[in-house]
């Protein structure tokens, strides 16, 4: 675990960087003043006079101020004479392109916002959004923000049941979707998935349908309306709703340790403060940059660093619809060369996939425009970090490995590119103004060593709770250690104070940067009548970080087969989403349990990782585990062979 390499910032980058070395001491001396200064850079309808009000575990930031998020993302730049700047270079998977200026984006947002108002959608209503990566997605998000409706974006990979659950949890009144989308050359029939979901969503009054693929779709009279029809007569200006700083901006569901996802809620002003400050300082964003965050807007990274962060800073972004290997494996590098992208923000899974595909793909393109390379979503191993630095960054670029979560809203631990001497594989230091610590099981700070990652003070972009479930909010994040937010990650702090993220400490897996609870997959598996019991665990995977591995026992002691495994995979894909289907399924007559009947997950993890088995003395039947371990070993041998 010793990593002696350090990469100092490029002198040119340091010289003009927004963040200079005194930023840490200044922010530490008065964190509230630091955040207030960033908040003041937003456009306020009514300026705030209070900074933070902390009634643990509930924070209110800038609470007596008023503002509108869409005005901060759009109108402000137009008022400053920058309406003709490009907000997004849209690149369709099939090669169609479109540049959208700030002025045009605002017009589209206003027309949709007016249309939504005409339907009776109003401030505080929840609106679900299930769209592919097309410009209508940021338009829909910002149109909600304009009228004060709370958006709940659902990632386009989720199934009908998953959509219905999310809609019902918060009682959404409308759903915005599209006929379909393109992915790796295929058409995804999104509206058909929505039709299935909408059979069980009594709160939905309207379904707005954008056109992307132009394939025919079912339109239910009285409920469904084409996006184009809705906005046809709408003016391209729209008075923004004036919102309180603490009014909710959005809901975003993420996996916890139970089968029921948590609706994480974020407020307006604190969130915008966090994302705009971090976007500017961590990516050292300047007006001449071309910025590309490859995340899907369906996840928090897309909310904070495709939409709100870059738009609040008036940035020009690339917005790509499709997959990295369509039509060829050099698609991203071709895009970077064509738009002269200078800041790239992506995930370790993507980096490791490119490593596997081979150096020749990036090598064919001119990547000299790049200056900052970001990583997010999973721990990045030093090999992938070095490859990113050398093969993509040509040894010149700053690498920023950024740790954060849906709950934190904005990046929390990261290098600052003009300052930090970066070791490969470490997210390095807490962002200025934050109080982050590593503690042992008693909650005592570990100055050097391994422990639980906690946050000791409220921060502006922190979650404001879990939709409809304040007890779960308290129990999940604030109960383990007194007065500390529990992140759910393990971390090591080294002698220089650098943080090394070690992965989740709970029953949450991280597959390609997607957060998935073991229990979600288990409960989908046992929906199949033939399954008696299922236990799911993550298995280390060279590309995706972790892969989902399921142990399944069948009713009546039946034997499994590869056909049944395929059917179970298909069932999970249908019930949750394809990206949540287990890669490995191992049938077993019984699951390893304690004498009191508790499944011993720790042992299952040892088995899949091929580790020496931990303590088995409390097992009810030790034979089960021996047999499973032998079979897992055989499978590893045949995989390796």
Q: Which residues bind ligand PRX (CB under 6 A)?
A: 254, 299-301, 376-379, 401-406, 427, 487-489, 501, 503-504, 510, 515
Q: What is the DSSP letter of 631?
A: H
Report the nearest approach of ligand PRX to the CB of residue 503 (Å).
Answer: 6
Residue 34, classed as helix, strand or coil, is helix
CB nearer ligand PRX, residue 275 or residue 337:
275
Name which of 53 and 435 has its Cβ closer to ligand PRX: 435
Is the distance from CB of 74 to CB of 80 less than 8 angstroms?
Answer: no
CB atoms within 10 A of CB 85: 16
Closer residue to ligand PRX (CB): 182 or 308: 308
C-beta separation of 344 from 391 below 8 A:
no
| Distance of alpha carbon 448 from alpha carbon 453, whole angstroms | 13
Instruction: Please report how many Cα atoms fall inside a 13 Å half-sphere around the Cα of residue 523, on the Cβ side.
Output: 11
Smallest gap from Cβ 411 to ligand PRX, in A, equals: 8
Nearer to ligand PRX, 384 or 564 (CB): 384
Q: Which of residues 317 and 428 has its CB atom nearest to ligand PRX in the complex?
A: 428
Q: Which is nearer to ligand PRX, 148 or 298 (CB)?
A: 298
Smallest gap from residue 72 Cβ to ligand PRX (A): 22
Work out how close the CB of 304 gets to ligand PRX at its nearest, in angstroms, rounded to a whole number. 8
From CA 230, how far away is CA 243, in angstroms rounded?
25
Pick 376 or 624: Cβ nearer ligand PRX: 376
Number of H helices, E strands in the chain: 22, 30
Residue closer to ligand PRX (CB basis): 66 or 422: 422
Taking the complex as a whole, how short is the minimal distance between the CB of residue 624 and ligand PRX, in angstroms? 30
CB of 627 to ligand PRX, least distance (A): 32
Phi/psi for 41 (5° steps) reads -80, -10
Contact predicate 457/36, CB 8 Å: no
Minimum distance from CB of 257 to ligand PRX (Å)?
12
H or E segment and range at residue 187: strand 186-188
The tokens 């690339």 sit on which residue? Answer: 318
Q: Cβ of residue 538: shortest distance to ligand PRX, in angstroms?
A: 11
Give CA–CA dist 344/369, Å, rounded: 10
Task: Read off the DSSP letter of residue 620.
Answer: S
d(Cα 207, Cα 396) in Å, to the nearest integer? 48
Distance CA 120, CA 208 (A): 13
Closer by beta carbon to ligand PRX, 255 or else 273: 255
Report the nearest approach of ligand PRX to the CB of residue 504 (Å): 5
| 449: three-class secondary structure by DSSP | strand
Q: What is the dihedral of CA 274, 279, 283, 289, to 10 degrees?
A: -160
Q: How far is the CB of 121 from ligand PRX (least distance, A)?
A: 28
Secondary element (H or E) of residue 263: strand 262-267
Tokens encoding 78: 């137009």
Three-state SS string over 531-566 comes to EEEEEEEEEEECCCEEEEEEEEEEHHHCCCCHHHHH
Q: Which is nearer to ligand PRX, 364 or 578 (CB)?
A: 578
Query: How many Cβ atoms from other residues are within 10 Å of residue 196's Cβ?
Result: 15
- Smallest gap from Cβ 501 to ligand PRX, in A, equals 4
State in angstroms the smallest separation of the CB of 122 from ligand PRX. 30
Q: Which is nearer to ligand PRX, 463 or 564 (CB)?
A: 463
d(CA 288, CA 454): 37
In angstroms, rounded to a whole number, what is the distance separating the alpha carbons of residues 545 and 381?
A: 10
| Nearer to ligand PRX among residue 272 and residue 427 (C-beta) | 427
Closer to ligand PRX by CB, 314 or 379: give it: 379
Closer CB to ligand PRX, 34 or 299, in the complex: 299
Distance in Å, CB of 268 to ligand PRX, minimum: 20
Q: Beta strand 150-153 with 181-183: parallel, antiparallel or unpaired? A: unpaired
Each as own residue / partner, the long-range contacts of residues 81-89 (CB below 8 Å, 24 or more positions apart, any chain) are 82/314, 85/314, 85/316, 86/316, 87/311, 87/315, 87/316, 87/317, 88/135, 88/138, 88/316, 88/317, 88/318, 88/319, 89/290, 89/316, 89/317, 89/318, 89/319, 89/339
* Closest distance to ligand PRX from the beta carbon of 556 (Å): 39
């Amino acid at each position: 675990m010793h990593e002696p390499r350090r990469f100092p910032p490029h002198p040119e980058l340091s010289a003009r960087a927004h963040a200079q070395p005194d930023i840490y001491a200044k922010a530490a001396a008065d964190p509230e003043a630091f955040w207030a200064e960033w908040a003041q850079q937003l456009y306020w309808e009514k300026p705030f006079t209070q900074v933070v009000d902390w009634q643990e575990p509930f924070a209110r930031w800038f609470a007596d101020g008023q503002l509108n998020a869409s005005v901060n993302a759009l109108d402000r730049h137009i008022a400053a004479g920058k309406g003709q700047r490009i907000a997004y270079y849209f690149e369709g998977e099939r090669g169609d392109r479109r540049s959208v200026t700030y002025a045009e984006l605002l017009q589209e947002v206003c027309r949709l916002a007016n249309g939504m108002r005409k339907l009776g959608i109003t401030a505080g209503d929840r609106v679900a959004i299930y769209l592919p990566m097309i410009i209508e997605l940021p338009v829909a998000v910002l149109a909600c923000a304009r009228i004060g409706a709370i958006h709940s974006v659902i990632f386009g990979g989720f199934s009908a049941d998953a959509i219905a659950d999310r809609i019902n949890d918060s009682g959404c009144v409308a759903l915005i979707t599209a006929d379909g989308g393109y992915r790796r050359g295929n058409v995804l029939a999104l509206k058909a998935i929505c039709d299935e979901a909408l059979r069980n969503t009594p709160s939905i009054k309207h379904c707005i349908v954008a056109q992307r693929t132009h394939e025919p779709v079912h339109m239910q009279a009285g409920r469904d309306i084409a996006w184009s029809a809705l906005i046809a007569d709408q003016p391209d200006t729209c008075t923004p709703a004036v919102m309180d700083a603490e009014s909710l901006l959005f809901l975003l569901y993420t996996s916890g340790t139970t089968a029921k996802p948590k609706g994480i809620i974020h407020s307006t002003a604190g969130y915008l403060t966090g994302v705009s400050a971090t976007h500017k300082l961590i990516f050292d964003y300047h007006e001449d940059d071309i910025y590309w965050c490859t995340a899907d807007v369906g996840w928090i990274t897309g909310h904070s660093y495709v939409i709100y962060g870059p738009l609040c800073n008036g940035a020009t972004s690339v917005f790509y619809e499709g997959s990295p290997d369509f039509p060829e494996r050099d698609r991203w590098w071709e895009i970077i060369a064509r738009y002269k992208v200078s800041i790239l923000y992506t995930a370790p899974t993507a980096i490791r996939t490119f490593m596997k595909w081979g150096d020749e793909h990036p090598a064919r393109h001119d990547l000299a425009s790049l200056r900052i390379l970001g990583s997010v979503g999973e721990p990045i191993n030093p090999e992938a970090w070095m490859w990113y630095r050398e093969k993509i960054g040509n040894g010149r670029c700053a690498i920023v490995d950024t740790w954060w979560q849906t709950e934190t809203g904005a990046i929390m631990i990261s290098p600052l590119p003009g300052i930090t001497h970066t070791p490969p594989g470490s997210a390095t230091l807490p962002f200025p103004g934050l109080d982050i610590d590593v503690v042992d099981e008693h909650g005592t700070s570990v100055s050097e060593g391994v422990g639980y990652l906690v946050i000791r003070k409220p921060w502006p972009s922190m979650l404001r709770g879990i939709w409809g479930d304040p007890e779960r909010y308290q129990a999940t994040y604030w109960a383990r250690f007194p007065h500390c937010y529990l992140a759910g990650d393990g971390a090591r702090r080294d002698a220089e104070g650098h943080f090394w993220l070690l992965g989740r400490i709970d029953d949450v897996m991280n597959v390609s940067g997607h957060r998935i609870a073991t229990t979600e997959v288990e409960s989908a598996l046992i929906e199949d009548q033939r399954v008696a019991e299922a236990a799911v665990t993550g298995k280390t995977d060279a590309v995706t970080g972790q892969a989902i591995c399921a142990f399944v026992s069948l009713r009546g002691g039946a034997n499994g087969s590869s056909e049944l495994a395929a059917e179970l995979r298909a069932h999970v894909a249908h019930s949750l989403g394809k990206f949540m289907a287990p890669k490995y399924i191992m049938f077993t007559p019984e699951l390893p349990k304690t004498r009191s009947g508790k499944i011993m997950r720790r042992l299952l993890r040892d088995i899949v990782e091929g580790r020496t088995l931990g303590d088995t003395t409390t097992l009810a039947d030790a034979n089960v585990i021996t047999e499973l371990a032998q079979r897992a070993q055989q499978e590893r041998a045949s995989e390796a062979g």
